[in-house]
């Protein structure tokens, strides 16, 4: 398998899951600025939408979209319990979390990174993000991870996108449950390995 990634982008989520699952893969840097691969290939020929992550399977099939990719990876290593079994209520709970993170948190950060976002609009974006993260902080009360005591692929995704707060001036230090949760995930060996591979940790 190949994972096309950009350092610190949402592709960090499947990068973490690959290490948690213990799956063999090749990481391919896909710059979100130049849209070129290290060998000069135009990344738009890999993903016409131009963004990461993309997972390329051994037969050449490609999967886009992080929530789909991480579930696929979890299903390749069921013994690691990174996702509840397909068809169970637990799996739908996982998908509920993945959808919330994708639409309410991940996309919530989008305008703050876009160079053409009007400055007057950014405080409104930040306020909405704060409200979502405040709710999330309450959901984490008394839990090790989003689904309880077991780390799952949604945790890798939430950790990845909540990392972005530091780059957009969003203070989350008062969200004690979220801060403690992030510290637990950051300490996981697979997370550290993936972050080191992307140059995010020394």
Q: Which residues of 69-101 are buried (b: 16+ CB within 10 A; e: fewer)?
A: bbbbbbeebeebebbbeeeeebeebbeebbebb
Residue 22 pLDDT grade (very low, low, confident, very high; cuts 50, 70, 90): very high
Place of tokens 């160079």: 115
Q: Over range 148-174, report the average pLDDT.
A: 97
Q: Over range 131-135, report the average pLDDT.
A: 98
Residue 32 pLDDT grade (very low, low, confident, very high; cuts 50, 70, 90): confident
Percent over 70 (pLDDT), the chain: 100
Q: Model confidence over 49-60: pLDDT tens digits?
A: 999 999 999 999
Assess whether pLDDT exceeds 90 at residue 202: no
Beta strand 26-29 with 2-5: parallel, antiparallel or unpaired? parallel
Q: Report the 10 Å Cβ neighbour count for 126.
A: 19
Task: Answer yes or no: do 103 and 73 share one domain.
Answer: no
Task: Answer yes or no: do 112 and 153 share one domain.
Answer: yes
Half-sphere exposure of 180 (CA within 13 A, CB side): 14
Q: Over range 38-44, report the average pLDDT.
A: 95
Q: Tell me the residue range of the domain where 180 lies.
A: 89-188
Per-residue model confidence (pLDDT) at position 13: 98
Task: Answer yes or no: do 122 and 181 share one domain.
Answer: yes
Task: Answer yes or no: do 32 and 112 share one domain.
Answer: no
**Strand, coil or helix: what is 9?**
coil
Per-residue model confidence (pLDDT) at position 101: 98
According to DSSP, residue 84 is labeled: P
- Tokens (6 digits) for 139: 């959901």
| Cα–Cα separations (whole angstroms), residue 29 to 19, 23, 59 | 17, 18, 20
Task: Answer yes or no: do 77 and 6 share one domain.
Answer: yes
Any idea what the CATH number is for the domain that residue 53 is in?
Answer: 3.40.30.10
Assess whether pLDDT exceeds 90 at residue 33: no
Residue 202 lies in a domain: no
**Strand, coil or helix: what is 2?**
strand
Question: Average per-residue pLDDT in the chain?
Answer: 97
Domain count, the chain: 2
Assess whether pLDDT exceeds 90 at residue 123: yes
Beta strand 54-56 with 26-29: parallel, antiparallel or unpaired? unpaired
Q: Model confidence over 59-109: pLDDT tens digits?
A: 999 999 999 999 999 999 999 999 999 999 999 999 999 999 999 999 999
Per-residue model confidence (pLDDT) at position 105: 98
| Cα–Cα separations (whole angstroms), residue 57 to 52, 64, 115, 126, 170 | 15, 11, 34, 37, 37
């Amino acid at each position: 398998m190949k994972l096309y990634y950009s350092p610190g982008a949402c592709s960090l989520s499947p990068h973490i899951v690959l290490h948690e699952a213990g799956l063999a893969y090749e990481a391919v840097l896909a710059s979100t600025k130049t849209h070129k691969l290290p060998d000069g290939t135009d990344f738009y020929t890999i993903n016409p939408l131009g963004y990461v992550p993309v997972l390329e399977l051994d037969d050449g099939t490609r999967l886009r979209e992080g929530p789909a990719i991480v579930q696929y990876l979890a299903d390749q290593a069921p013994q690691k319990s990174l996702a509840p079994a397909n068809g169970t209520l637990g799996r739908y709970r996982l998908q509920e979390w993945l959808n919330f993170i994708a639409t309410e948190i991940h996309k919530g950060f989008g305008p703050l990174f876009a160079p053409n976002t009007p400055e007057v609009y950014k405080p409104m974006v930040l306020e909405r993000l704060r409200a979502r993260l405040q709710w999330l902080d309450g959901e984490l009360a008394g839990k090790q991870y989003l689904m309880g005591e077991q780390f799952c692929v949604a945790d890798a995704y939430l950790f990845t996108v909540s990392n972005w707060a530091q780059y957009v001036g969003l203070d989350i230090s008062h969200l004690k449950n979220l801060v403690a949760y992030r510290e637990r995930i950051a300490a996981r060996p697979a997370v550290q390995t993936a972050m080191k591979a992307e140059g995010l940790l020394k």
